[in-house]
């Protein structure tokens, strides 16, 4: 490209050092960029208010009805167009002005310079030779053999070299034979493009589009690549975003997976006046690795995920969540995510719901696809086809009444199941209740009576196919509120003391012959001390004769009302042995329960400690516990959490530690990590380690992950991604890290123009 030492460079003219930028501009630019682009508040040229041409210069030579020669600080203005040069010649017949010597032309959000230019006053078009240009909003600068601006917003460039890096830094650039920029539409397109890194060509594409402002636009998103032991090695993904209309869009991601082939993913998103629908599709034709491993199965593999939420009226809404895959290993082999948890059952639900002040109704279809072939048929969840629920409430004098009803038909494949577990059928449950109470500043008291009636009509059972069960409940809940003002560590607080008593009674009913469709024992914790029953689902109703005593104290910031600390402890007493259980679990003996407690300490807005657990005073041992410490800096660049989980009551004793960290080592570099360690096995249960490096014009993420698979093996994955500022939308690496480490996504060093793509789960 010809030397351009004599003419001003567009990017240099409007580049402002960080220290000299105004406050609003500083907030948009990281300090490590060293500065940013700012348009002059008042362009130092004439301001034209119509199509008339205004010209000033130091010297002028006018030839009657032919031409006007200008020299010395020539300024031309016509409408929004303004230009300056060393000299110019204006042809009165053609209406063209030829500018030469240090040409500078400005428009709204656009600056261009050149050695010479041709300006057509009739059309407002200007063509510059050996040009440099700057788009302020896109933070994009470049050079061109020739640049033509047609109208106020369209730019055509020949022989372009452009980048979003700051002046003096050409870490990357795009070199294209032709580039078209449309400021009205907010996007650019380029032909015969090669990507250069430090002036070294690394990639070629015949055509591409890219955003030049914050509006959503079609174009390439950031590519990602990495490796996976489950995915047979290296994979490379290049998403392309389609901005189809303001209310719907799509993302297509072809992904090459070593030894498997081309895996295609498509995400469709649709917004309507009533809600949003997301559809994810995945397909690979002839997965060679899968075909070699399972020769008797089809190697054409696919997946589908449909999510839809709609609010039809102020009372009616609906939702759909449907997931299906071709085989049990589809997610493990093909979906390159960083989730530490692996799904064993894919949910399928469709719900319609009505709700107003006193009435609620819902109709749901619920099913699952089980992905773990080792799960026995008798242990797989039931489908509910359908599940209906109706709740109503109201008042009768001083009494509050409530009616709850549920109906469900439970089904699953029972060809290989024997005994009671073979049962399918319907269940009707009715729960009318009456309650009364009073609440004031000093405390509250509330009592209620409820009748829990259930009827079953069963199929495929050798014994009776009809059951009914009726269990009455009586309970009472009472508490007091005390508070005082106190001063701790020089700060004013309000401390509360909240003692509470709760009693519940329900008689024993024989239920061992009733199948277990959806019932489980709840986890014992502090909130469960005040629950009416110890079971969730409708197949077991507990026998209860127990009283709970508990106390809570809170420390409230007197100035702001924020809760800075909370401590709660409670215990229940069983007056009788409990007899109703689920497979031997959930029935407690007469006497005192373990102590259940919770504690929360938040001395600072960005630091908290939480502890919850159960302790058996008779055995002097901890039964369950969960503790966690969380910290984040004000800008969320630093995020840290440390947790510990312990459960001696589980079928397999559980004890794990969990550490998560996002740590900036500099203004541009962050270390990312999460480690879950199984203290029972003395082995890692899952880990994630990564590095994020951000500059003013590109960023890089490198993430390595390990996690336990269903067969207790250890899977390893590596994901690498480079993002070039100004060339696409969100990237998968950052999104996947955010799923694993809460708080990661709270800090973004610079806002990326371009696609307004919403990241969704994919199949």
Q: Kindly report the backbone phi and psi dihedral angles of residue 715, in degrees, each rounded to the nearest multiple of 5, phi listed first.
A: -100, 145
Which 3 state secondary structure label does DSSP give 746? helix
pLDDT above 60: residue 101 = yes
The string of pLDDT tens digits covering residues 28-62 is 788 888 888 888 865 444 454 556 778 888 888 88
Which 3 state secondary structure label does DSSP give 666? coil
Q: What is the dihedral of CA 514, 515, 521, 522, to 10 degrees?
A: -100
- Give residue 330's pLDDT band: very low, low, confident or very high (50, 70, 90): confident
- Percent above pLDDT 90 for the chain: 47
Would you call 28 exposed, middle or buried from its count of C-beta atoms within 10 A (0-12, 13-18, 19+)? exposed
- Give residue 382's pLDDT band: very low, low, confident or very high (50, 70, 90): very high
Across 648-670, b (16+ Cβ under 10 Å) vs e yields eeeeeeebbebebbbebeeebeb
pLDDT above 50: residue 338 = no
Q: Smallest Cα–Cα separation from 429: which of 398, 452, 396, 395?
A: 452
The string of pLDDT tens digits covering residues 562-598 is 999 999 999 999 999 999 999 888 899 999 999 999 9
pTM of the model: 0.78
- Give residue 340's pLDDT band: very low, low, confident or very high (50, 70, 90): very low
* pLDDT, average across residues 329-340: 68
The string of pLDDT tens digits covering residues 519-563 is 999 989 999 999 999 999 999 999 999 999 999 999 999 888 899
- Give residue 740's pLDDT band: very low, low, confident or very high (50, 70, 90): low
The string of pLDDT tens digits covering residues 438-453 is 999 999 999 999 999 9
Which range has the worst mean pLDDT, 8-22, 35-49, 99-113, 262-276? 35-49
Amino acid 715: pLDDT:
76
Amino acid 15: pLDDT:
92
Across 153-187, b (16+ Cβ under 10 Å) vs e yields bebbbebbbbbbbbbeeebbbbbbebbbbebeebb
CA distances from 36 to 197, 564, 668 (A): 22, 41, 17
pLDDT above 70: residue 668 = yes
Local structure of residue 110 (DSSP, 8 states): E
Amino acid 306: pLDDT:
95
Question: Regarding predicted confidence, which is higher, 287 or 405?
Answer: 405
Q: What is the dihedral of CA 447, 448, 449, 450, to 10 degrees?
A: -150
Q: Smallest Cα–Cα separation from 105: which of 180, 41, 179, 45?
A: 45
Most confident of 172-186, 204-218, 587-601, 698-712: 587-601
pLDDT above 80: residue 323 = yes
pLDDT above 80: residue 752 = no
Question: Regarding predicted confidence, which is higher, 720 or 683?
Answer: 683
Question: Regarding predicted confidence, which is higher, 43 or 229?
Answer: 229
Nearest-angstrom CA–CA distance, 195 and 173: 6
Q: In sequence order, what DSSP letters do the residues of 441-502 get, joined into one string?
A: SSEEEEEEEEEEEEEEEEES-SS-SEEEEEEEEEEEEEEE-EEEEEEETTEEEEEEEEEEEE
pLDDT above 70: residue 502 = yes
Contact status, residue 557 vs residue 485, Cβ threshold 8 Å: no
Contact status, residue 254 vs residue 225, Cβ threshold 8 Å: no
Question: Regarding predicted confidence, which is higher, 418 or 218?
Answer: 418
Which range has the worst mean pLDDT, 241-245, 654-658, 732-736? 732-736
Amino acid 741: pLDDT:
54
pLDDT above 50: residue 2 = no
The residue assigned the tokens 């000033």 is 56
Helix intervals (H) in 160-262? none
- How far is Cα of residue 224 from the mean position of the Cα atoms in its chain? 18
pLDDT above 90: residue 109 = no
Q: Smallest Cα–Cα separation from 614: which of 592, 630, 582?
A: 592
* pLDDT, average across residues 422-451: 96
Rounded mean pLDDT of the chain? Answer: 86
pLDDT above 60: residue 344 = yes
Nearest-angstrom CA–CA distance, 443 and 501: 12
The string of pLDDT tens digits covering residues 701-715 is 888 888 776 667 777
Amino acid 41: pLDDT:
67
Amino acid 4: pLDDT:
40
Amino acid 232: pLDDT:
55
Nearest-angstrom CA–CA distance, 703 and 735: 12
Nearest-angstrom CA–CA distance, 623 and 611: 14
Domains of the chain: 10-213 (2.60.450.10)
* Angle, vertex CA 136, rays to CA 133 and CA 142, nearest 5: 25
Amino acid 751: pLDDT:
42
Amino acid 732: pLDDT:
46
* pLDDT, average across residues 63-68: 72
Token pair recorded at residue 327: 């085989």
Which range has the worst mean pLDDT, 466-470, 515-519, 607-611, 757-761? 757-761
Amino acid 233: pLDDT:
65
């Amino acid at each position: 490209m010809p030397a351009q030492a004599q003419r001003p460079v567009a990017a240099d003219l409007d580049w402002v050092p960080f220290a000299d930028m105004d406050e609003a501009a500083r907030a948009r630019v990281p300090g490590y960029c060293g500065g940013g682009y700012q348009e002059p508040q008042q362009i130092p040229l004439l301001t034209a208010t119509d199509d008339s041409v205004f010209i000033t210069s130091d010297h002028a030579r006018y030839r009657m009805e032919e031409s006007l020669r200008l020299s010395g600080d020539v300024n031309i203005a016509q409408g929004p167009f303004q230009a300056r040069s060393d000299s110019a010649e204006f042809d009165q017949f053609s209406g063209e002005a030829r500018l030469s010597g240090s040409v500078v032309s400005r428009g709204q959000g656009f600056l261009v310079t050149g050695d010479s230019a041709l300006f057509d006053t009739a059309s407002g078009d200007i063509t510059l030779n050996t040009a440099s240009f700057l788009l302020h909003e896109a933070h994009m600068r470049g050079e061109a053999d020739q640049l033509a601006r047609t109208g106020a917003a369209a730019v055509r460039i020949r022989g372009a070299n452009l980048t979003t890096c700051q002046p003096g830094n050409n870490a990357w650039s795009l070199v294209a034979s032709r580039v078209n920029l449309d400021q009205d539409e907010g996007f650019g397109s380029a032909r015969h493009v090669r990507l250069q890194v430090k002036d070294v060509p690394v990639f070629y594409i015949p055509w591409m589009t890219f955003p030049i402002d914050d509006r959503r636009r079609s174009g390439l998103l950031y590519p990602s690549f990495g490796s996976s032991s489950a995915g047979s090695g290296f994979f490379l993904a290049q998403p392309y975003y389609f901005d189809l209309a303001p209310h719907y869009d799509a993302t297509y991601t072809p992904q090459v997976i070593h030894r498997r082939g081309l895996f295609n993913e498509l995400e469709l998103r649709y917004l309507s006046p009533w809600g949003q629908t997301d559809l994810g599709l995945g397909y690979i034709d002839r997965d060679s690795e899968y075909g070699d491993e399972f020769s008797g199965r089809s190697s054409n593999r696919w997946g589908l995920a449909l999510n839809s939420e709609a609010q039809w009226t102020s009372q009616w809404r609906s939702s759909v969540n449907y997931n299906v895959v071709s085989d049990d290993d589809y997610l493990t082999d093909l979906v390159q995510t960083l989730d530490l948890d692996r799904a064993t059952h894919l949910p399928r639900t469709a719900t319609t719901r009505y709700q107003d002040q006193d009435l609620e109704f819902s109709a749901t279809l619920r099913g699952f696809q089980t992905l773990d072939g080792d799960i026995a048929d008798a242990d797989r969840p039931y489908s509910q086809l359908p599940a209906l629920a109706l709740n109503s409430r109201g008042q009768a004098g001083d009494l509050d009444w409530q009616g709850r009803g549920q109906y469900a038909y439970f089904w699953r494949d029972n060809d290989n199941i024997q005994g009671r577990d073979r049962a399918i059928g319907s269940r009707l449950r009715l729960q009318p209740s009456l309650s009364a109470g009073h609440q004031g500043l000093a405390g509250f008291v509330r009592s209620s009576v409820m009748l829990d009636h259930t009827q079953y009509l069963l199929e495929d059972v050798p014994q009776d196919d009809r059951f009914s069960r009726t269990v009455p409940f009586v309970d009472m809940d009472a508490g007091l509120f005390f508070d005082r003002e106190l001063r701790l560590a020089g700060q004013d607080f309000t401390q509360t003391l909240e003692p509470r008593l709760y009693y519940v009674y329900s008689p024993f009913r024989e239920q061992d012959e009733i199948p277990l469709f959806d019932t489980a024992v709840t986890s014992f914790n502090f909130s469960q001390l005040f629950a009416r029953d110890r079971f969730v689902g409708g197949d077991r109703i507990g026998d209860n004769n127990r009283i709970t005593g508990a106390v809570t104290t809170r420390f409230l910031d007197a100035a702001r009302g924020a809760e800075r600390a909370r401590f709660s402890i409670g215990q229940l007493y069983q007056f009788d042995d409990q007899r109703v259980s689920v497979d031997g679990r959930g029935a407690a003996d007469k006497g005192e329960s373990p102590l259940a407690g919770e504690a929360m300490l938040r001395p600072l807005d960005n630091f908290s400690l939480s502890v919850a657990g159960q302790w058996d005073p008779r055995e002097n041992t901890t039964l369950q516990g969960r503790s966690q410490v969380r910290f984040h800096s004000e800008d969320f660049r630093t995020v840290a959490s440390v947790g510990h989980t312990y459960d001696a009551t589980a079928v397999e004793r559980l004890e794990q530690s969990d550490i998560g960290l996002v740590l900036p080592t500099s203004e541009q570099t962050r270390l990312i990590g999460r480690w879950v360690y199984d203290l029972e096995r003395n082995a890692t249960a899952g880990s994630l380690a990564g590095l994020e490096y951000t500059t003013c014009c590109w960023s890089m993420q490198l993430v390595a992950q390990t996690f336990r698979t269903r067969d207790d093996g250890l899977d390893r994955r590596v994901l690498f991604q480079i993002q070039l500022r100004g060339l696409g939308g969100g990237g998968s690496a950052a999104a996947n890290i955010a799923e694993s480490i809460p708080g990661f996504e709270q800090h973004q060093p610079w806002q990326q123009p371009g696609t307004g793509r919403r990241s969704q789960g994919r199949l």
